[in-house]
Chain A
Amino acid sequence: MRRYRQAKWDEPIIFDLGHLDETIDEKIIEITSKYVPNKYVRKKLAIPDIPKTRTIRHFMRLTQMNYAVDLGLYPLGSCTMKYNPKFVEYILAQLPLSNLHPLQPSETIQGFLSILYEFKKYLCDLTGMDAFTLQPAAGAHGEYVGVLIIKKYHEVNGNSFKDEIIVPDSAHGTNPASAKMGGFKIVEIPSDKHGLVDIEALKSAISKYTAGMMLTNPNTLGLFEKNVLEISRIIHEVDGLLYYDGANLNAIIGWARPGDMGFDIVHVNLHKTLGTPHGGGGPGSGPVGVKNFLKEYLPIPYLDHKGGEYILREDLKYTIGKVHGYYGNIGVILRAYMYLISVGGDRLKKISAKAVVNSNYMLKKMVKIKGVELPYDPNMPRMHEFVVSLKKLKNDTGVTTRDVAKKLLDYGLHPPTIYFPLIVEEAMMFEPTESASKEEIDEYITIFNKIIEDAYRNPSTVKNSPNNTSVKRIDEAYGSRPKTMAPTYRWLKKRA
């Protein structure tokens, strides 16, 4: 069994490393005062001056107190922590992008725009949609664009009264949050006993007020919504639009397309499906695709190809406007482009297939472990991810999903997504992705099994974890209470 110990540097907060003198030099104030009225001249700036080598060591030490895809399995469900190719990073660093200003005239960068255009074409092909915008900077940003398109579409068609968006109870939290930001009411519908959208509940939830529905397919249980054509029919019957949350697109890419399932709008998480790095929380990229009848609703500027020229069009008839200052996260888009062409259409199918096989293989091993239960249809294969419940373990031993997750850290393994989806008690949601090898999955299972055995034998060893990480179990509530919180260094100093 692997023994792991994370680095622990006890590294001070950067402010405590250097010399902190907040007064601004008289000479600087004098220069500024020549050009700026005295009442707007700054006199104090409390940023430390630190020796450069110490700064570098500081941040390098921080990198050692982290976990990353390149260190081990990172099976966070719905987050798709797949391998991020290095050649992409190297090539990107060699491209002359640092000084490419977004307002540079488009005539001067036709070749550059042709890459973006080509990429949009590939996205259309992969999703079965007709037109794409690259503007959204993340998946949720893409959802927001989708929701606004739904809003505008009904406005244009004289149906502004349509103010309800249907969201399944297994949906990602971003779905209802995005719909709310677009000014919609949220109608949540339950999942049926198979873990799929309850068609009867859906039928009774729709009305003339239904503006649309947001759906992830496969859903967050890793189950494919096989009634999706029926769902599409039901939503379209009341003039609603169907939105595809692309967070799980990596499960089906090359095997099925949202556009063929009756979806009108889709977003693609490039940082999930097309292998761009997650950067500790971002940047990502969430391009949005639509069917032809919604093309004029896309954000502006819209990259088009006309008369042999690539142009940034501002004249879309029903455009929702803009959601990003410029054209989106181009750096991420270029990475995804390189990922895509290095794989090619043929092998893309193998990637999704392996992701699905890995997940089912892991599931098969997982359900053999005592205390682990598989909610919903046991005979239906899952797709790229699966959800198990540790409710039985908790009842038997008092050890919770959180405890098991923390104990995994002690072996240098990243836990799955926990306590999501909300409809499964003590949920653990695993997504090994195609990047995991059989051996790695086997090792993960062996360690997981050992943790469960320990939980039954001596629960406190699991409950008192982690011990091998740079800090012990964290008290999150403490940091959120008004009296004890310290969201910034200055707050900490004021409190002290």
Chain B
Amino acid sequence: MNINVQYKIYFKENIVSRAILYLFDYTANIHEQRGSRMEMDLTFDDISDMLKEIGYKDVKELFEKILPKSIMYNDTPKIPMVPEKKIRNHILNKLRKDRFFNPEKIYLGGGVWPTYIPSIVSYIISRTEFLTSYTPYQAEISQGTMQALYEYQSIMAELLDMDVVNSSMYDWASAAGEALLMSYRIKKKPMVLVSPHIAANRKKVIETYLWGAGVELDTLSTDEEGNIDIKNMNKKLNDGVSGVYIEYPNSLGYIYENLDEVIQKIHEYGALVILGVDPVTLPIIKPPGELDADIAVGEGQPLGLPMSFGGPLLGIFAVRGDMILIRNMPGRIIGLTRDIEGNRAFAMILQTREQHIRREKATSNICTNEALSAIASAIYLSLLGKDGLLKLSTRLLVNAHKLREKLLELGFEDRYALPFIREFSLKVDKPIKTSQLIQELADRDILFGRVEDDSHVISINEYHDEESFDELMNILGEIL
């Protein structure tokens, strides 16, 4: 806007002080735009020499040569510029009225969990050498990214007890969808099954992926104890099924006691077994490999990534060491190889599965993945080591059982009497509605367990301790 006009308006309204402030603001802006302290200015250096060299008097002439008149956009994008030094406050201002909960008062989980991230993890993945590099298409100059990803794959393989892990999928949900599609690619039976008690968001993603490919989906049922109803499952398997996806622990937090039998049956019928896991539970419970799973998927976020309102996450995808399974995997795999002098080196391997080589015959369309998340998780897992991981999961296990007992005393009831690790489900035997309870706790700064199957699924994270439980108990005592 013309500064004089603006000034006159202010002056006319006799708001001289504001006019003066505006003038200050205006000059400051000019200064800022011309100044060199602004980072994005590096993009705007002089291009007149280059224009001359390529034979155009200005950029407009160049674009007019390329773009048909009928398409040319003659307006300016309506995006207001905020001076760089004001952006931080610009955003914080918008967040001013928002409520950010303390992790020790969050009992939400189900796919994304509050996690303490050692600063070392954040520091190393902020290093520009990792942060601003591309997919390691030029292997010789990108050994750093590749070795880190290889180590992610290798440590994750141990945690899962699976032989091959890819270098990441978008998230757990899409990895589960891709796993079921993969089972269909291999077995070619147009029906797949999922276990009962899969988080609603993941189920929705699975449904979408299967609908796209034209594969039918059916859901297994539970028996009274909350286990998988095997009789019912056998009937469904009998009709021909490519794969069965089961969450372990399931979305209520429980481990199906008959899981071993279920897996055996699925294999007898020739279908593939896909387990969906929370990796933080795995140090202490039988991993997918030992349970004979063919494919394992899961969410890597609790291994060193912030929750960030649900993204970026880290989709884990692993298979048993069977060449048919490996060749049908989606996503990038980093492998060990050698250079021409026989030295150890890393490279992207088995690329003939991928879209940039195979186009429509590829096993998936995935290209950009969550590589940096995978590196974060490799660092996290290396820092914790076996001892740290065992301490972490044992702590969650013990705390979860402690809290459950306290809540039972308050009148909550188990949804099922099944084993669990860090999440469990309780019904409230009180007139208060689940949604009202959640609301009242939120008003007192606590994010209580989400509702599934008419029960609260309560999730324990490593920030929780006696103190946080006591506080929860006190507040619940007041409400109930």
Contact = CB atoms under 8 A, between A and B. Distances in A.
A205 interface: no
B284 A341 contact: no
A2 interface: no
B76 A138 contact: no
B40 A343 contact: yes
B368 A281 contact: yes
Given A31-B398, A42-B284, A405-B138, A323 B174 contact: yes
Given A65-B143, A342-B82, A471-B143, A47 B155 contact: yes
Contacts of B79: 122, 125-126, 340-341, 343-345, 348
A103 B138 contact: no
B143 A66 contact: yes
A282 B73 contact: no
A220 B436 CA distance: 55
A345 B132 contact: no
A409 B92 CA distance: 43
A84 B95 contact: no
A329 B311 contact: yes
A144 B33 CA distance: 40
B196 interface: no
Interface stretch (B3-11, B12-20, B356-364): B356-364
Nearest to B95: A111
A233 to B, nearest CB: 12
A141 B368 CA distance: 9
Interface string A214-242: 00000000001010110000000000000
A108 B439 CA distance: 11
B335 A479 contact: yes
Nearest to A227: B68
B385 A47 contact: yes
A36 B174 contact: no
Interface stretch (A170-178, A195-203, A287-295, A451-459): A170-178
A30 to B, nearest CB: 10
A128 B74 CA distance: 13
Contact of A476 (B63, B347, B375): B347
Contact of A224 (B66, B260, B355): B66
B129 A181 contact: no
Interface residues of A, number: 197
B150 A341 contact: no
Contacts of B234: none
B120 A56 contact: yes
A84 to B, nearest CB: 5
Interface stretch (B101-109, B237-245, B406-414): B101-109
Interface stretch (B110-118, B218-226, B264-272, B472-480): B110-118
A238 to B, nearest CB: 21
Contacts of B382: 14, 48, 50, 55, 58-59
Contact of B87 (A326, A341, A356, A490): A341
A70 B132 contact: yes
B212 A322 contact: no
B208 interface: yes
A36 B285 contact: yes
A156 interface: no
Contact of B154 (A86, A253, A490): A490
A255 B71 CA distance: 9
A20 to B, nearest CB: 8
Given A321-B204, A325-B205, A357-B54, A228 B311 contact: no
Interface in A259-278: 260-261, 269, 271, 277-278
Nearest to B33: A347
Given A103-B110, A326-B201, A345-B78, A479 B347 contact: yes
Interface in A76-93: 76, 79, 81, 83-87, 89, 91, 93
A36 B81 contact: no
Given A224-B66, A357-B59, A490-B158, A328 B365 contact: no
Contact of B149 (A97, A280, A415): A280
Contacts of B54: 357, 360-361, 364, 381
B373 interface: yes
B45 interface: yes
Interface string A7-37: 0000101110010011011001001100111
B208 A105 contact: no
Contacts of B332: 281
B362 A475 contact: no
Given A6-B141, A109-B99, A471-B143, A281 B94 contact: no
A261 B301 CA distance: 40
Interface residues of B, number: 198
Interface string B37-49: 0111011110101
Nearest to A480: B349
Interface string B326-345: 10000011111111110111
Contacts of A356: 59, 62-63, 66
B428 interface: no
Interface in A127-151: 128, 137-141, 143-144, 147-148, 151
B7 to A, nearest CB: 22
Interface string A94-128: 11111111111100111110110000001001101
Interface in B144-193: 144-145, 147-151, 153-155, 157-159, 163-165, 167-168, 170-174, 177, 181
A318 to B, nearest CB: 13
B450 interface: yes
A151 B43 contact: no
A45 B283 contact: yes
Given A13-B147, A409-B138, A39 B260 contact: yes
B141 A488 contact: no
A381 to B, nearest CB: 6
Contacts of A340: 79
B26 interface: no
B366 interface: yes
A70 B421 CA distance: 44
Given A278-B133, A358-B50, A488 B157 contact: yes
A291 B388 CA distance: 51
Given A47-B381, A112-B309, A354 B43 contact: yes
A327 B350 contact: no
Contacts of A491: 157, 163-164, 321
B282 A42 contact: yes
B431 interface: no
Nearest to B319: A487
Interface in A46-83: 46-50, 52, 55-56, 58-60, 62-71, 74, 76, 79, 81, 83
Given A326-B112, A480-B335, A97 B307 contact: yes
Contacts of B199: 325
A182 interface: yes
A400 interface: no
B387 interface: yes
Given A86-B39, A470-B143, A472-B340, A91 B87 contact: yes
A98 B309 CA distance: 8
A141 B40 contact: no
Contacts of A110: 97-98
A313 interface: no
A486 B335 contact: yes
Given A48-B386, A278-B132, 11 more contacts: A13-B151, A52-B120, A66-B133, A112-B95, A281-B168, A326-B111, A332-B311, A342-B40, A347-B40, A415-B138, A472-B343
11 contacts: A32-B284, A68-B132, A98-B117, A148-B212, A183-B212, A323-B209, A340-B79, A343-B79, A381-B62, A474-B338, A487-B164
